[in-house]
Structure formats: structure tokens, C-alpha cells
Amino acid sequence: MSKIVIALGGNALQSKNSAPTAEGQLEVVRKTCESLAQICADGHEIAIVHGNGPQVGRILLASETAKDVTPAMPFDVCGAMSQGYIGYQIQQALRYALRLKNINCPVLTVATQMVVDKDDPAFKNPTKPIGAFYTEEEATELQKTKGYTMKEDAGRGWRRVVASPIPKKIIEIEAIKKLWDSSVVISCGGGGIPIVENMDGNLEGVAAVIDKDFAAELLSEEVEADILMILTEVDKVAINWGKENQESISSMSLKKATQYIDEGQFAPGSMLPKVEAAMKFVRAYPQKKAIITSLEHAIDALNGETGTVITFA
């Protein structure tokens, strides 16, 4: 039996063939939870971390669109809202999937605050686009009135960009640890609600997007998981992606992974953070491993039949 922290990619919540609605998402989540329930049925203990990119974008867009009717919500609040509704759907679907396997285990969501460093360099160079597209004139007005950082996005218009700082501390970690033995806990949703700690000890939300893979890695360290499993759209990490000599990798040592990163093999914002998060975990726990694979083949990867395993040496 292994303790596994599972980071769910966007395809675990929505698919290209499903409508971008709550109902369409729930349909995909149900399929996802069938796989998660089977991992539990195989005797493993799991905790779940999920992304929230499209969802928090839509919440923000809805809030900003309705600003003349009701005040727009700040970004950290939108992140908290996304944690709640995504967590609710996973709770509902996973509880049902577990019951079909005669597993009576509570599934719950913890609204999770993630401390970031207010001096993180990411705040000086926000790069993560969120929300709606605007004209240049509208973007200029938002910069003046709201203090947003706005950037032109691939010729499609102007968008707000926020920082993507490194997570430092999970505020609710002690509660998550206490719940582990009795529940399946969904936490650090969307990378966690980004906050900074003020000099007086108070917590303050900030406009940022924390990478969910790095959040899952930090959680894995804190709960001393045996495996960090990062689920994405591909069965294995590949080098020379999209080229004739594309090659799938079954295992990577830290040394080999570093070589591939130096060669620019992994795309920023896509595979690179997944590989870097996996490396960070096995660097902290040299005797353990991280796995990157697809949701569809998660169980096969745990059995050593597919996936990319990142090890210390």
C-alpha cells in the first residue's frame, strides 16, 4: 500500500468534446473518479490536487461582466470559489465511485490557503494570462483604474496577467494530515489560494496563480507521500516533441532530467513544471519516486507498465 498525492490535469475536469459548463465538467469528473476509485480499491491511500485554469477564468469573467450589477470579486476570492465548486463535484463523483466498490470513505474538500513570498520575482514580471480579452483602450483604462498588469496576447487582444509564484507553505496542512487516515482529501485546488503573511501575522490574499504541480509536490513532502503522481494528457514524457525523432521516456534520473531541461526539451507552462515538480520531490526524498502519465493509464503506471518515472539516480 502506498500513500499517493495525485495532481489532476485539466483533461481530468474537462475534455475537448465536453461543453464548458458545470454539467459538462461533472460528466468528465465522473469518468475521472472511476480511475481514482480503482486506485483506492487496489489498496492505495490518495489525496487529490486539481487545477482550475479555465474555471477560475470563467468565474472572473462572469464577475467582471456583471460589475454594473454587483461588485466584481477579487482574484483570490475567485480562486476560492473555484476550489469549492470543483471540489464539490469531485466529492460527489468519487463518493459514488467508491461506494460502487464497497468502499465507504468520506471525501472532502479543504479550502486551502498557500503562502507565497511577497518578494517572489514572479510578482515583478506577471506572465499568467487570465480572464477576458480587451481592446487596447480598455486595457489602458483597467491599468489606470484597477492597477492591473495588461499584456497583448498573440494578436487576440489584451488580457490581464498575474504572477505565478512558488508555493512556500500550506496553511491548512495540519488539518490535512489529521484527515488523511480517515478520508480522501481534496486540497490545494488550483495550486491553493495565494496569500502572503504580513508582519503582524495576518494573511492577505494576492492576485496570482500558483502552479498546481508545485503545490502537489509541496503537499507530497508535507504528508511524506510515497509517490507523487502527476496526471496529464500523455502516457509518457517525450523528448524532441512533435519531431520525427520524438522519443518517449520511461524513466529519468535527476541528472538526465536536468540535461533535458538544459536542452530545452520541455515546454514552459506545459511539461516543464511537471518535470521540475517531480524532480523537487525526489530530490527531497531520494528513496521515493514521482510518476508522470495520463489519467487513463494511471493504474498501469502504478504497476510499472507505462508512464515516466523520475528517480534520484
* Amino acid at site 73: M
Active site residue 31: no
Q: Is 102 exposed, middle or buried (0-12, 13-18, 19+ CB in 10 A)?
A: exposed
Active site residue 10: yes
Cβ density class 219-258: b for 16+ within 10 Å, e for less: bbbebebbbbbbbbebbbbbbeeeeeeeeebeebebeebe
Active site residue 11: yes
From the CA atom positions of the chain, what is the Rg in Å? 19
CA separation for the pair 127, 7 (Å, rounded): 22
Task: Assess contact for 170 and 218: CB atoms under 8 A.
Answer: yes
Active site residue 17: no
The one catalytic residue among 9, 52, 128, 189: 128
CA separation for the pair 90, 13 (Å, rounded): 9
The one catalytic residue among 10, 24, 157, 205: 10
Q: What is the DSSP letter of 77?
A: H
The one catalytic residue among 11, 79, 289, 307: 11
| Strand ranges (E), 86-243 | 107-109, 113-116, 128-134, 149-152, 158-162, 167-170, 184-186, 193-197, 203-205, 227-232, 237-239
The one catalytic residue among 79, 212, 236, 288: 212
The one catalytic residue among 9, 79, 190, 274: 274
Residues annotated as catalytic (active site), given as ranges: 10-11, 128, 212, 274
